Amino acid sequence: MPRGLRKRGRRHKNTEEDDYSHEQTQDGREDGFKLNLNEADISQPSWILPSTSQSDAILTSNPEAPFGFVDTEVKAYFRTVDVQIQDWQSSQVESEEMGGNTDIDPNEERRLFFVAALTEMQGKERELATDPDCSIVLERMANSMDDFVRRVLMDSMAGSYELLIKHRFASHVCQTLFTLAVDTIQREMKGIYPRVPDSQDKGELRTMKQLILDICEELLPAFPSHIMDPFASHVIRSLLVLLSPILANESLVRSKKSAAWKAKQGSMKSVFEKDKGREPVKQLQAPSEFHQMTKQFLEVLKSGLDENEIRAMAASKVASPGLKMLLEVEADLGSSGEPDSLMDRVTVGVVSACSNAPLESSDYLNTLLRDTTSSHLLETIITRAPDDVFRILWNLYLKGKLPRLSVHPVANFVVAKAFGRADEQQLLDACQELADSWQKIIAASRSGVLRAVVDRVANLRVLGDELVKAVFSAFALDTAEEKLSLVPCALYLLPFKVKAVSMSASIVTHYGRKDYQTRKSTVMTAESRVHSREGNKKDKKLLEPQIQGSLLLQSLLHLSEPNYEIVIQSINSLSLEERIQLAHNGSSSRIYDVLLDSSAIPSKTKRSFVLGFIGHYHQLADDRFGSRIVDRCWNFADTYLKEKIARSVIPHQQTLAGSFYGKFFSRNLNLYLLQRRPEEWRNFQTEKKRQADVVYQSSLAKKQEASSSLPQVATSEPVASPQPTKKRKRKGDEIDALFNASLGNKVKKAALGNEVKPASPQASAVKEENSVDRDTTDKGLLDVLGALKNAPKGEKRKKKRKS
């Protein structure tokens, strides 16, 4: 709108001057800021000093754009940059799915494009980071920058990080830069530095390590306020992950809302081909200066906040994840057991009470047990506390209260963490205390408590008999016949039966069924409704095993002998149809995986399990999850057992060839070679099994020893068998020598094409009898002629050749 039409009525004389001064304040911030300072000097008393920080004054005047707005043309240019990068990333994802194209090198074109974008960005980094549209472009470009350009970008924003991390959009840019700085620092620790172009008009560029230390020094004075700021808190958490590598697996860096929003922005990978296969460093290391910086952060937080303020952070959704990370860092530094530490303040003096008089329970920690936000912090305290501190916490807040806490919707997670580090005596006391409450715990869907006890017993190798009694009590299994129903009861988290004495409203499952017997009697009706498309979601859930029940059974299979046999006996008592049905489910099929992989279960038990599916492997393979179980059984079996499996599948090979999932298993069996040359098939499977065992043993040694030489040994072992390659080549040479000159290339292709699709078993048996007393050349001749005879096209071509 023109300036003259903005306001009706009589214009004042000073209107134009006021408008001019307002425009000067918006367009030229330095002049406007100096004008405000001069006015403050005149109007305010002499003892009031104006702010010496220009950025603070600008932030107060315009918090949305503290460094100014981005020009419209510049914003439009960076929108085109964003579109171009997204196109490259989408095409890169498609090329990876298609197998990649090494003939075209797009790096030069993209490099020139990035140089132009970086040139346009120079001097506008802060404005772009605070812009709602350009901030995501800056994040996308940061993933494609090399170490040198990334250091230049972070150095250009030095001195402004205190404002940037508190901004709504710039905070995510800082978080992305701190996340990407991890790989750069790892390379700098190995002495890998990028080439820095020589320039006389610019100073020396700081390394990434020095940049991070300087940024920490800038954020250090106001660190307590940053960790409680809604925008700066997640940046501080990313900075803590960078300083302390033990937090690399921490999942609280980004909020769920922020992670969901970033996932909608598409791929953020590098657009350059040289960075496509780069993998992140698995074992992170931090310089010694970073450990000193984390100590300074802890000291500033303890000196800036008193005990009550630190305890108030535990209930804050913003500050609690950061406080949780600081407790992890403090435990890693070995200062958690010192008086007046963060853990001592949060636990209301439990650490100090270890050397002093006994302590009474605090209402504050009892509140943390039942709070949704603070319970995560208490889990960290339970996990990372010293042994004497954990003993006091167990006696004060858990012992004697386990039946009530185990069924609580929030406190049961803390109880499960406590069971994860309990000793033998504490486990024995807990089992005795919860002897009459296990069925209520399962009915309330708190199976994680029982699973934590099972895992701890499996690690300590003690109290196996007491645990078995607890498991049978949880599902109301009394007689020997009822105990065989452990697997279905645990999968559906239902007791086998509910006694009349314990019949109450608390023992009700998710689906309204009170025991497994009721569910078993109504499952057929539900199945008929589901298959007739009349069943509702409740009926469909009734037919699906629960994930928590599957995890509980998997933990039971890790117990020592003979405690794991309660699961094996229950599986063997099921009918074959029920076992196949379990293999076709994504949750229950994991039980078979653990059964075949567990080192506690002997090979004899695994062998009998594999033999139980003989004759029905074609049913298992014709399913998404069952095909994975078939591959597991095949990898475990020896050569003799593999031959039995393969011969049982021969009558169903046409069905497997037409199955979407079974065709891969059929190709792996190589049934054509088994029918033609059984001895060669056995030698091939034996050699393949031997090499697979070598690779498996080398991978186990690599995980256990974690040495630098083992990966070279593991990679030097051949993964694919060289024997079938040689035989395939020798067979091809025979065909070339015998038929290439007479029959031609087209007949040869037809023979090879029909070799993949074998003939009927009757024809195979006839050919095998005819080729018993012949040498290798005669066998190859008969095979090719037999394949040509069965192929109509090949036969017609042969007749044409003869004519």
Give residue 10's pLDDT.
45
Range in 211-220, 331-340, 369-378, 784-793 the model is least confident about: 784-793
In a domain, 609, yes or no: no
Give residue 713's pLDDT.
29
Mean pLDDT of 50-64: 53
Give residue 412's pLDDT.
94
In a domain, 441, yes or no: no
297 and 190 co-located in one domain = yes
**Cβ-based burial of 397 (10 A; exposed 0-12, middle 13-18, buried ≥19):** buried
In a domain, 82, yes or no: yes
In a domain, 686, yes or no: yes
Q: Evaluate if residue 501 carries a pLDDT over 60.
A: no
Mean pLDDT of 24-47: 38
Tokens of 501: 């004495």
Report residue 427: phi and psi, to 5°.
Answer: -65, -40
Mean pLDDT of 298-311: 91
243 and 142 co-located in one domain = yes
Q: HEC profile for 200-249? A: CCCCCCCCHHHHHHHHHHHHCCCHHHHHCCCCCHHHHHHHHHHHCHHHCC
Give residue 67's pLDDT.
86
Mean pLDDT of 701-723: 42
288 and 214 co-located in one domain = yes
Give residue 517's pLDDT.
65
In a domain, 753, yes or no: yes
Contact 258, 238 (CB under 8 A): no
Contact 199, 295 (CB under 8 A): no
Tokens of 657: 């060839």
Q: Report percent pLDDT > 90 for the chain.
A: 39
Residue with the bigger pLDDT between 444 and 16: it is: 444
Q: pLDDT, tens digit, for every residue of 436-446?
A: 999 999 989 89
Mean pLDDT of 304-308: 90
DSSP summary character for residue 397: I
| Distance set, CA 780 to CA 741, 745, 768 (Å) | 16, 17, 12
115 and 248 co-located in one domain = yes
Contact 487, 506 (CB under 8 A): no
Contact 108, 148 (CB under 8 A): no
184 and 239 co-located in one domain = yes
Q: pLDDT, tens digit, for every residue of 573-614?
A: 999 999 999 999 999 999 999 999 988 899 999 999 999 999
pTM given for the model? 0.72
In a domain, 593, yes or no: no
23 and 157 co-located in one domain = no
Give residue 92's pLDDT.
65
31 and 141 co-located in one domain = no
Q: Evaluate if residue 195 carries a pLDDT over 70.
A: yes
Q: Evaluate if residue 66 carries a pLDDT over 90.
A: no
Indicate the number of domains in the chain. 3
Tokens of 391: 């003993």
Q: pLDDT, tens digit, for every residue of 325-342?
A: 999 999 988 888 888 899
Contact 648, 614 (CB under 8 A): yes
d(CA 568, CA 111): 60
25 and 164 co-located in one domain = no
Using the CB atoms, write b or e for 587-621: b if 16+ within 10 Å: bbbbbbebbbebeebeeeebeebbeebeebbbbbb
32 and 110 co-located in one domain = no
Using the CB atoms, write b or e for 38-66: b if 16+ within 10 Å: eeeeeeeeeeeeeeeeebebbbeeeeebb
157 and 119 co-located in one domain = yes
Give the domain extent around 767: 681-704+718-802
Q: pLDDT, tens digit, for every residue of 650-692?
A: 999 888 888 899 888 888 888 888 888 989 998 988 888 888 7
261 and 112 co-located in one domain = yes
Q: pLDDT, tens digit, for every residue of 356-414?
A: 767 788 899 999 899 998 999 999 999 999 999 999 999 999 999 999 999 999 999 99
| Distance set, CA 699 to CA 638, 703, 706, 717 (Å) | 20, 6, 10, 11
Q: pLDDT, tens digit, for every residue of 264-286?
A: 777 777 877 655 445 555 567 88
CA 607 to chain centre: 33
244 and 137 co-located in one domain = yes
Ranges 86-95, 462-471, 529-538, most confident: 462-471
In a domain, 296, yes or no: yes
Contact 248, 283 (CB under 8 A): no
| Reported confidence tier of residue 707, pLDDT bands at 50, 70, 90 | very low
In a domain, 655, yes or no: no
Give residue 504's pLDDT.
38
